[in-house]
Structure formats: structure tokens, C-alpha cells
Amino acid sequence: MENAIEIINLHKRFGEVKALDGLSFTVRPGEIYGLIGPNGAGKTTALRILATLIKPSAGSARIFGLDVEKNPNDVRRIISYLPEEAGAYKNLSGLEYLEFMAAFYFANKEEAQESILEAARISGLGKRLKDKVKTYSKGMTRRLLIARALMMKPRLAILDEPTSGLDIIHAHHIRRVIQNYVEKHGVTVMLSSHNMLEVEFLCTRVALINRGRILIEGTPDEIKSRYGVDNLEEAFMEATGSA
């Protein structure tokens, strides 16, 4: 079966800074795969390469067999990307924002309308969708963006810190949405997070990265048992030698 993501020996340099240093992993279709690591570990760089925003200095990254460097336009048709702490267009209403996004994916008006209704359901924003985005709280904006990322049923959703900066209620809502959506539509999700509870709750497999390379990879249970600890946070501390 074709892998959803196949990253082989990926390197990325920004001037003298080595952001990725031989990163390799694969993600199977339908998985929720989590990248965890300290700030500056290379999580966002890896996700940006997958999202076709930046190019690797060396190595390769494939999404459902498509090389992100050679076929970026084809890759963009099957992915959706949610940047960390992203905003939406403040002077559009939530609904206008969703309509704007849907127009890039659906030639058929009914299909576009259907995806907008789906996004409205995912966001749970109800009548507030008619209000301008600038009146939304941070949590509401994030719900709108998650809905946008999932509304077109991408084959791969790339979510950078999906619940970053959100309160418990909004974070819980978003985690539930992601989990339900994956179960319902078989979408593959690649996410990064600092929140170990979130990663343990959501991810089928996890890669712990530091300084642009993988330290350990496996299911949350495998990683915990390998270090003989109770949770991923402790495993993280052991793996990075910070314990």
C-alpha cells in the first residue's frame, strides 16, 4: 500500500543554521502522526516542506507518491495546511472566508456549498459565521481554520500546533473534531505539538525530534515502555537527556 508520507534523509539549511539534518519517516494512510520536539527542533520546517512552502536542501519528501519538490501543484490539490497561530482575513465574515477557500477546490457550486455546510458543522460557529472574523476570539478563529483545513476532505491534513494558545474547552473541541473527522473520512493527519497530552490522545504514532533528526519513533505506548515511564512528557525528557 502506498504511504501517505515518505520522507527520506531530509536536510534543510537556512544560511548557517541546520534546521533538518537527515530526517526520515513514513506515515501510513489514515494515521494521525505526531511530531514532537523542543522549540527549534525542526517540526515547522518539516511541515512547511510537506506543505510545498519551502524546498529541502537535500533528501526527498513524497505525499501519496507525489514528490513535493517536483510536483508541488499536484500535492497542493490533495493536502491542506494549517500554520501555527495563523489568522483568517479579518474583514471577511467567517462564511465569506469559507466560500473564498471552497472556490479553489470545487468547480461545482453544489459541491462547494456542501463543503461549506460541512465546515460550518465542524466549526460549530453557527450564526457567528455571518460575523466578521475580527470579532472572533482566538478559539473561534482556530475552529474556523480547522474547519477550513478539513472542509475539502484532503487526503493529508498538515496541522502545525492545532491547539496552540487555546483554552481547555476550545482545545478539547478541536481534538474531538480531528479525531472524528479521521474516523469518518479516513483522512491522514500530520501534526506537530508541544502538548504531550494532546499527542497521546490523538496520535496513532509519534516521532520525537531534536536538532532536525528523529530521536525515537513509535506508538505512544511503545515509546513510554521503551523508557519505562508513565507518560510521553517523561519519555521526551529522557530522550532529550533533560531528565
Partner 1 sequence: MPSALSNLVKKEIKEMLRDPKILLGMVLMPLIVFPIMGAAINMSTSTIEKSMRTATLAVMKLDHGPMADQLIASFKALNVSLLEIQASPINEAIRNLEKTNITTLIVIPPGFTENLTSGLKGELDVYAILRSISLSEGAKASAANAPISIYEKTLVYQAVKQAFPDRKPENVLDPIAVKSYVMFRGRLLNISPEFLQGIFMSQSFGFPMVIMLLLISAMQIAATSISIEKEEKTLETLLTLPVRRLSILAGKLAGSIVVAAAGAIAAIIGVNFYAASIFSFAPAGSVDLAELGLSLSPLAYFLLGVTMFVTIISALALAICIAVFSENVREAQSLIGPFSLIVILPSLVLMFADIDVLPFYFQIILYLMPYTHSILASKAAFIGDYITMLRSIACISLFTIVVLYIAAKIFTTEKVITARLTLRKPKIRQ
- Which chain residues interact with partner 1 by CB under 8 A? 14, 48, 51-55, 73, 76-77, 79-92, 96, 100-101, 103-109, 112, 132, 145, 148
Task: State how beta strands 58-63 and 5-14 pair.
Answer: antiparallel
Exposed / middle / buried, residue 221 (Cβ in 10 Å: 0-12, 13-18, 19+): exposed
- Judge contact between 149 and 161, C-beta under 8 A: no
Q: How far is the CB of 232 from partner 1 (least distance, A)?
A: 27
Closest CA to 121 of 151, 99, 100, 101: 151
Pick 95 or 229: Cβ nearer partner 1: 95
Pick 64 or 106: Cβ nearer partner 1: 106
Q: How far is the CB of 76 from partner 1 (least distance, A)?
A: 5
Q: How far is the CB of 44 from partner 1 (least distance, A)?
A: 10
C-alpha to C-alpha distance for 122 and 234, rounded to whole angstroms: 33
C-alpha to C-alpha distance for 147 and 191, rounded to whole angstroms: 15
The residue behind cell 508541544 is 194
Report DSSP state, residue 199. H
Pick 70 or 77: Cβ nearer partner 1: 77
- Maximum CA pair distance of the chain? 55
Pick 88 or 202: Cβ nearer partner 1: 88
Pick 132 or 172: Cβ nearer partner 1: 132
Q: How far is the CB of 120 from partner 1 (least distance, A)?
A: 19
Cell of 57: 536542501
Q: How far is the CB of 122 from partner 1 (least distance, A)?
A: 16
